[in-house]
Structure 1
Amino acid sequence: MNKTVNINLGGMFFHIDEDAYLKLSRYFDAIKRSLNNSSGQDEIIKDIEMRVSELLTEKQKSEKHVVGLKDVDEVIAVMGQPEDYRIEDEENTNQSYNNYSKRGHKKLYRDKENGMIGGVATGLGHYFGIDAVWVKIVFLIFVFAGFGTGILAYFVLWVVTPEAVTTSEKLEMTGEPVTISNIEKKVREEIDSLSEKFKNADYDKMGNQVKSGAEKIGSSFSDFIMTLFKVFAKFLGVILIIAGISTLIMLLIGVFTLGTNIFVDFPWQNFVEAGNFTEYPLWSFGLLMFFAVGIPFFFLTLLGFKLLSPNLKSIGNITKYTLLAIWIIAIAILVSIGIKQATEISHDNKIIEKKVLNITPTDTLFVKFKYSDYYAKSLNHYREFEFVQDSANNELIYSNDVRLHVLHTDQKTPFIQIEKSARGNSFTNAKKRAEKILYKFEINGNHLILDNYFLTDVKNKFRGQEVDIYLYLPEGQLLKPDPSVRDYYNSDDDFFNLNYDGNYNYRVEGSKVKCLNCPADHDSNNDYENDNEYENDNDYENDTDNDTIKEVSVKINGKEVINGKKTKGRLTTDKNGVIIKIN
């Protein structure tokens, strides 16, 4: 446990432990020996003591703080070792100065006391003997003209260049010889500067300056924020003007081209065409749409001009309130139309047309879709709703909302059922609208040819008209769908698992439609072996062991093979003719 000592150093009292006190005493004794009774020794010692006192005061954390060895070592590191203060006699002093002048060398340090950031530019100014301003200008030139290399060079010099901390380092930085007079001068300048600041300090003025500085900082920050807001407001104003004017122009084009097919598809085109779903005239619906959408964008355009030019004159309250009233009326009418339109599609009804296909299950049924080259150029022309004219210039609604469903039936022959559905404000009205759907199909022998579209008069409006084709197939029916079927087949179950990769043959087997010649890796409901143990009726070998077994049921791979069907493979039967093994 070390003892503590109370000392008076440079007019300040310190609590210092015994080891630190002994080291500090030896330090001052060494300085006195270095000065060797030269003129001004006492003054220099006094100045050095005051400087040490200041450095120790900065390290005081509280009134009870005890100065330790670490604090003394840090102070000595700043002040320099006693050898820095050693002087020779007058002749040696002059000779040392002359030798130093002959060397003409300076050491590069960072002058952080007089610098703004890291003291790099100020230190370079001392080293090259020029004003630090020119060094800073060079750094700025390299920042803008050298693609930021000035910033990189500054930070590199900041890292590698030491800071001038001790008195001797500061003298070496400016090129002054390290002599007693220079040390004394430097120490006195630092002490006088600090004393002058405290002596002449006007604390009221300092308080006002601090307050004024804080206000300036706050004002500068608020100005910066306001500048950012102004720039953002200008940018937002340009965006609003471009968006507003563009939308208004396109709305005008849309209103004047209602009911016509123009070469550009506008984003609101379906909204305009929605007028054809109502009982109101098309032009009135377009006008309502223009007011409901155009007026808000008109005000957004005005807001954009106001952000760009705050002194822009207003359009006047009368104009504002008039446009607002028109907008409210347009919205109210559109809401009422929407409510009325909801009642127009509140009921759903359909009509059914059934047609039997006069073919046997052993006949292959070919199914395909065809398109009308008058309304489309290929099957890929798909529209759920489109206005067209026929050859007699009658206005019609054209739609490809046609769907095929394949189902099982217990009847002996296949049949087709066409369901035409529509919506209305009552079941009767919906059924009448469904009856006006024009849809055609053909049956040529074992070929079923279906239209991929339907038509209805434009007077019927679009009320969710659809056509569903239900193809019912009996047990064992062979089916060959055309590739066109893949775009219109729709089913919620897996009774018919259509292979979209090619044109294949199918057969109804039990609760599934099986693919007969699909690839082995096809993920279908074909549960036969890859060696095609189950073939068409016309593809069997004339093997004496390939018998026809009647009224026999066996299971192959867990699946039942039903009575009376020829099976390719070598059969092993018992004495009653029942199959017990298939090789």
Structure 2
Amino acid sequence: MNKTVNINIGGLFFHIDEDAYQKLSRYFEAIKRSLSNSSGKDEIMKDIEMRVAELLTEKQKSDKHVINNKDVDEVIVIMGQPEDYRIDDDSTEAPAETYYPKRRKLYRDKDRGLIGGVATGLSHYLGIDAVWIKIIFLFFTFVGGSGLIAYLIFWIATPKAVTTSEKLEMTGEPVTISNIEKKVREEFDSVSNKFKNADYSQVKSSAERVAGGIGEAITKVFGVFAKVLGAIILVFSSITLAGLFIGLFTFGTTSFIDAPWQRYIDAVNYTDIPLWLFGILTFLAVGIPFFFFLLLGLKLLVTNLKSIGNIAKYSLLAIWIFAVGALVFIGIKQSTERAYDGKIVVKETLQLKPNDTLRIKFVNNDFFSKSIYDNEDFLFTQDSTKREVIYSNNIRFELKATDKQLPYLQIEKLAEGKSFNEANNRAEKIKYGFKMVGNELVLDNYLLTEMASKYRNQHVELFLYLPKGTLFKMDKSMERYDSSDDEFFNLHESSEDYVYRVDDNQVKCLNCPPDENEYQDVEINNADINIPTPPTPPVPPTSKMSGKRTSKLVVDQNGVIIKTN
């Protein structure tokens, strides 16, 4: 039955049995004796104790674990015996060293770094010059801004190398008594060389007073600023994370319940990746940086906040890199699904008698819409047979001239896809209808698409080609869909009784008021419309017209008639 004692090594408490305690005490005393002539003796001992404390912490299996002789012996084997590493100031021979494999740990090198020491720490860890690390961060900062976000994450997640043991681990050197002593002496000599010519006896007291006052003032100012900044970061990060969590829950459940707007999202999801998976990736890609900002805000408010540990930090960093890479892949795949335009062209000749006036109008389907002026880019609904379809009013109409004897209608069905073949197949499945009833052209104001085709910007473009001299009328329903060139055909919206005629270079309105003919210079006479003028009746003697003749345009279903009085 061994007696146990509680000891404090490097700021950490341990339960250790009495025999192990005696051995560890003798070990420390031997180290002190070997360092009796070394500069920076106290600093070296402090670093050695902290390193021993780290090694003993790794031996602890639970809070009730008691350090024994075996644990101490294993620590001594790692650290080495003091007599093996005695280095005298006048000695020119290096002591024999035991080989240890280089195992680097990632730390921030604040001593050599310009800002946070991230690039310098990564250069030690990866064995790459710090200049290349900085160039990579700058490149990704200017290309999308991800470099700055990654730098801040590394700054928050990576601890700073403070102790001599951490600085040795950062460069991959074994943490032994010899290396600790060597490192401390190098730092001590470096500082001594910088100030070797300074007379501390004359300036010490005044410098301490000035520096102390300035340092205290700066500390208080920055302390208040840090608290305010920490509170702002904490509130902003918390609100963002809460919003992301609500969005993840909302979008993530749409794959398991029949939400009314789920089909609209699926229609523009060209990758067929489940919506819940996309929500999780977005949550991770955006939420992890804000989680580290949340930790930063807490650290600014709570000075003694315990770290979440390197394992958690590096695991979250790896998950974030994976999520961002997956979203980039999805974005590229999403864009390629609409990379090609497909088109199917159908031409239909219109049987119109030479002397007839063509009437043109759009009609709606009362089953889908009750108004001709409704405008739906795409709508998921059912047809009269209860079959699910995509309904759209994406129709475009344009009037053009032709040298052919008969007018014809060119119907162009268009859609998008990841290849020409797929885009053309999708365009071919568009359903669009029209009909010719006597001298009236009736056009549907909608198109239908199968649900399996999904939404790929399906639309229909109509081109009506009319021979020279053709007379036609436009229904008011044409206002919504006509996109003809105004210099060729100017649709007057104020009346459905206007009669238009196709001439050489433009369409003329034959009975429009002069103020509406801003694009056409219309001249109307009997020769233009080839309608004979009836004989002039005799004028009564009492009339004030004095034999003058007046004409009046009358438009009916047969065309234009001039009545002369």
- TM-score norm. by structure 2 comes to 0.50
Equivalence for 1:450 = 443
User: Residues of 2 paired with 1:520 and 1:296: CA distance?
Assistant: 64
1:512 correspondence with 2:506: yes
Q: Work out whether residues 402 and 488 of structure 1, in 8 Å CA contact, stay in contact via their aligned partners in 2.
A: yes
Deviation at 1:443, TM superposition (A): 1.9
Deviation at 1:375, TM superposition (A): 3.3
Equivalence for 1:239 = 236
2:347 pairs with 349, 354, 357, which one? Answer: 354
**CA spacing shift, 1:426–1:230, aligned 2, 3 Å:** same
Deviations 1:123-181 (A, max 9, x none): xxxxxxxxxxxxxxxxxxxxxxxxxxxxxxxxxxxxxxxxxxxxxxxxxxxxxxxxxxx
Question: Any idea what SS the aligned residue of 2:515 has?
Answer: coil
Deviations 1:329-358 (A, max 9, x none): 454445445545555444433222222222
1:404 pairs with 397, 405, 429, which one? Answer: 397
**CA spacing shift, 1:246–1:428, aligned 2, 3 Å:** closer
Equivalence for 2:520 = 526
User: Residues of 1 paired with 2:275 and 2:367: CA distance?
Assistant: 29
Which residue type is aligned with residue 527 of structure 1?
D
**CA spacing shift, 1:507–1:439, aligned 2, 3 Å:** same
Percent identity, aligned pairs only? 38
Deviation at 1:411, TM superposition (A): 1.9
2:482 pairs with 489, 494, 518, which one? Answer: 489
2:287 pairs with 295, 298, 304, which one? Answer: 298
Deviation at 1:320, TM superposition (A): 4.9
User: Residues of 2 paired with 1:445 and 1:457: CA distance?
Assistant: 32
Larger C-alpha radius of gyration, 1 or 2?
Answer: 1
Q: Work out whether residues 533 and 569 of structure 1, in 8 Å CA contact, stay in contact via their aligned partners in 2.
A: no
Matches within 5 A, 1:322-361: 322-360=315-353
**CA spacing shift, 1:567–1:384, aligned 2, 3 Å:** closer
Question: Any idea what SS the aligned residue of 1:363 has?
Answer: coil
Which residue type is aligned with residue 458 of structure 1?
M
**CA spacing shift, 1:221–1:318, aligned 2, 3 Å:** closer
Deviations 1:517-569 (A, max 9, x none): 4443336322137xx76899599864669xxxxxxxxxxxxxxxxxxxx9989
User: Residues of 2 paired with 1:331 and 1:385: CA distance?
Assistant: 31
Equivalence for 1:112 = none
Deviations 1:455-485 (A, max 9, x none): 1212223334221111111112222222322
1:422 correspondence with 2:422: no
Equivalence for 1:460 = 453
1:364 correspondence with 2:357: yes
2:224 pairs with 220, 227, 231, which one? Answer: 227
Matches within 5 A, 1:214-293: 216=213, 219-220=216-217, 223-257=220-254, 273-275=267-269, 277-278=270-271, 280=272, 284-293=273-282
2:429 pairs with 422, 429, 436, which one? Answer: 436
**CA spacing shift, 1:338–1:307, aligned 2, 3 Å:** closer
Deviation at 1:234, TM superposition (A): 1.5
Q: Work out whether residues 240 and 304 of structure 1, in 8 Å CA contact, stay in contact via their aligned partners in 2.
A: yes
User: Residues of 1 paired with 2:330 and 2:214: CA distance?
Assistant: 60
Deviation at 1:382, TM superposition (A): 2.6
1:478 pairs with 471, 485, 498, which one? Answer: 471
User: Residues of 2 paired with 1:260 and 1:484: CA distance?
Assistant: 41
Query: Aligned-residue CA RMSD in angstroms?
Result: 4.3
Q: Work out whether residues 366 and 480 of structure 1, in 8 Å CA contact, stay in contact via their aligned partners in 2.
A: yes
User: Residues of 1 paired with 2:210 and 2:243: CA distance?
Assistant: 49
Q: Work out whether residues 435 and 443 of structure 2, in 8 Å CA contact, stay in contact via their aligned partners in 1.
A: yes
Question: Any idea what SS the aligned residue of 1:497 has?
Answer: coil
Question: Any idea what SS the aligned residue of 1:375 has?
Answer: coil
Question: Any idea what SS the aligned residue of 1:257 has?
Answer: helix
User: Residues of 2 paired with 1:427 and 1:273: CA distance?
Assistant: 20
- Aligned residues between the structures: 337
Q: Work out whether residues 267 and 454 of structure 2, in 8 Å CA contact, stay in contact via their aligned partners in 1.
A: no
Which residue type is aligned with residue 383 of structure 2?
D
Deviation at 1:444, TM superposition (A): 1.7
User: Residues of 1 paired with 2:284 and 2:404: CA distance?
Assistant: 64
Question: Any idea what SS the aligned residue of 2:516 has?
Answer: coil
Deviation at 1:438, TM superposition (A): 0.9
Question: Any idea what SS the aligned residue of 2:344 has?
Answer: strand
Q: Work out whether residues 364 and 478 of structure 1, in 8 Å CA contact, stay in contact via their aligned partners in 2.
A: yes
**CA spacing shift, 1:371–1:304, aligned 2, 3 Å:** farther
Which residue type is aligned with residue 512 of structure 1?
Q
1:395 correspondence with 2:388: yes
Once structures 1 and 2 are overlaid, which stretch shifts more, 300-309 or 411-420?
300-309
**CA spacing shift, 1:508–1:450, aligned 2, 3 Å:** same
Question: Any idea what SS the aligned residue of 1:439 has?
Answer: coil
Q: Work out whether residues 237 and 303 of structure 1, in 8 Å CA contact, stay in contact via their aligned partners in 2.
A: no
Question: Any idea what SS the aligned residue of 1:521 has?
Answer: helix
Q: Work out whether residues 267 and 455 of structure 2, in 8 Å CA contact, stay in contact via their aligned partners in 1.
A: no
**CA spacing shift, 1:450–1:543, aligned 2, 3 Å:** same
User: Residues of 1 paired with 2:378 and 2:256: CA distance?
Assistant: 13
Q: Work out whether residues 350 and 430 of structure 1, in 8 Å CA contact, stay in contact via their aligned partners in 2.
A: yes
Which residue type is aligned with residue 249 of structure 1?
I
User: Residues of 1 paired with 2:257 and 2:481: CA distance?
Assistant: 29
Which residue type is aligned with residue 294 of structure 1?
F
- TM-score norm. by structure 1 comes to 0.49
**CA spacing shift, 1:353–1:222, aligned 2, 3 Å:** same
Question: Any idea what SS the aligned residue of 1:528 has?
Answer: coil
Deviation at 1:500, TM superposition (A): 4.4
**CA spacing shift, 1:296–1:513, aligned 2, 3 Å:** same
Q: Work out whether residues 356 and 413 of structure 1, in 8 Å CA contact, stay in contact via their aligned partners in 2.
A: yes
User: Residues of 2 paired with 1:228 and 1:542: CA distance?
Assistant: 97
Q: Work out whether residues 390 and 450 of structure 2, in 8 Å CA contact, stay in contact via their aligned partners in 1.
A: yes
User: Residues of 1 paired with 2:280 and 2:459: CA distance?
Assistant: 34
Which residue type is aligned with residue 235 of structure 2?
V
Q: Work out whether residues 418 and 468 of structure 1, in 8 Å CA contact, stay in contact via their aligned partners in 2.
A: yes
**CA spacing shift, 1:343–1:359, aligned 2, 3 Å:** same
User: Residues of 2 paired with 1:256 and 1:232: CA distance?
Assistant: 36
Q: Work out whether residues 528 and 534 of structure 1, in 8 Å CA contact, stay in contact via their aligned partners in 2.
A: no
User: Residues of 2 paired with 1:241 and 1:535: CA distance?
Assistant: 81
**CA spacing shift, 1:354–1:229, aligned 2, 3 Å:** same
Which residue type is aligned with residue 515 of structure 1?
C
**CA spacing shift, 1:207–1:273, aligned 2, 3 Å:** same
Which residue type is aligned with residue 522 of structure 1?
E
User: Residues of 2 paired with 1:435 and 1:235: CA distance?
Assistant: 56
User: Residues of 2 paired with 1:210 and 1:533: CA distance?
Assistant: 107
